[in-house]
Amino acid sequence: MTPRELLEQIAADWQPQIRAAWVEAIDRIRSNIVLKRIVERLERGDVAGAVADLGIEDGVLAKFEQSLIQAYHSGGIATVDSMPALRDPAGNRIVFSWGVRNLPAEQAMRQHAASLVTAITTEARDGIRDVLTENLARGQSPYDAGRMIAGRVNRATGRREGGLIGLSRPQMETVARIQRAMRGGDAEYMRQYLTFANRDKRLDRTVLKAIREGRALAPEEAERVARLYSNIALRKRGEAIAIVEMNTALAKAKHDAFQQQIDAGKLEAGDVTKTWGRTISREPRQMHLEMVGVTVPFDRPFTLPDGIQCTGPHDPALPASHRVNCKCPMPEYRIDFTGQALRRYRERTGG
């Protein structure tokens, strides 16, 4: 198995685990919601208290955060295991190893994972607060507002579905707008809804019929349309987060694995290069296409056409515009065996 195939296998193993940890965290938040308490807060006009009672805290995502660290270590171990055999000037084989307690590198990955979790929970609380404030100002009842946030319990599974927990801020706004449009008979937005990728197409006939008849949907129908949209949006967001963060963890692990060997004197930075590979995406970013085949020394960054510099695709320092849905492979790292061997020979012979 080639180094690339090995990392692809690890990615295939870890992606569902990261997604499962994400789903488990969202389910835990939703299952702990006491709707009556949320409604009581909203009846008193205490939006901040209602948001606090949802329990959207960093600690709930601890397993998700830890799964990113574990994927990172798996990628590092796989990278060093696939490194070619080299020998020192005395002819002894150089043993490459992954420093599990490589504190600077691990701390950087942990900081990335922690910052990601904080960003997710902060966005969730802020987004829900804004949606609640707007909908209550529009006259939505505290009960309807609370149920829109929390979703409703599926009697068959006993789990909450729908709601806004786990969605991105734009997705939250879309769910609220869908429910409002369906209940208010906003034909223009109802037509727009029929173009949304995250809609449940089974309900298209219901919405089309209401548009033709010039009427709104019944409250329960409107709630169902919004709830099923939310379910699909949440599933796709979980998948997207798992892919992006799995790629980030493995790309960083691969880079750090080579850096560890260089820091330990087992490799020379000048003997290692990295090359930007070709994406498998059907809708690639033009700037990433322009990078295909670009090779730089290991200790130099790639410079993208917009001037942004990075260690390669999936660098956690890259903005979302370069990371989300990026399907570029991790850089191809190459060791100059000839240069390495020649230097080792000269060191051994004194030539």
Which residue, 126, 80, 75, is CA-closest to 250? Answer: 75
Rounded to 10 deg, the angle between the 103-137 and 169-184 helix axes is: 20
What are the tokens at 174?
A: 């879309």
Q: Which residue has the tokens 């505290």?
A: 142
Residue type, 34: V
26-39: per-residue pLDDT in tens?
999 999 999 999 99
Q: What pLDDT does 294 receive?
A: 97
Would you say 135 and 127 are in contact if contact means Cβ atoms under 8 Å apart? no
As a whole number, mean pLDDT of residues 103-126 equals 92
Q: Which tens digits make up the pLDDT trace of 13-68?
A: 999 999 999 999 999 999 999 999 999 999 999 999 999 999 999 999 999 999 99
**How confident is residue 82, by pLDDT bands cut at 50, 70 and 90?**
confident
Neighbours of 187 (CB within 10 A): 16
Write the DSSP symbol of residue 285. Answer: -
Higher pLDDT, 201 or 345: 201
- Res 225 pLDDT > 90: yes
Report pLDDT digits (tens) over 166-202.
999 999 999 999 999 999 999 999 999 999 999 999 9
Across residues 118-144, what is the average pLDDT?
Answer: 96
Q: Average pLDDT in the 223-228 region?
A: 96
Instruction: Please name the residues in contact with 2: beta carbons below 8 A apart, sequence gap of 6 or more.
Output: 82
Taking residue 180's Cβ as centre, other Cβ atoms within 10 Å add up to 18
Provide the pLDDT for residue 8: 85
Cβ pair 148, 176 in contact under 8 A: yes
DSSP readout, 113-139? HHHHHHHHHHHHHHHHHHHHHHHHHTT
pLDDT tens for 260-300 read 989 888 888 999 999 999 988 888 999 999 999 999 999 99
pLDDT, mean over the chain: 91
- Greater pLDDT, 345 or 226: 226
> What's the pTM?
0.87
Give the mean model confidence (pLDDT) for residues 240-248: 94
Q: Given this model, what pLDDT does residue 349 score?
A: 66
Q: How confident is the model at residue 100 (pLDDT cuts 50, 70, 90)?
A: low
Tokens of 175: 């769910």
Report the C-alpha dihedral over residues 120, 23, 252, 338, rounded to 10 degrees: -160
CA distances (Å), 292 to each of 41, 169, 295, 335, 339, in order? 55, 34, 9, 19, 25
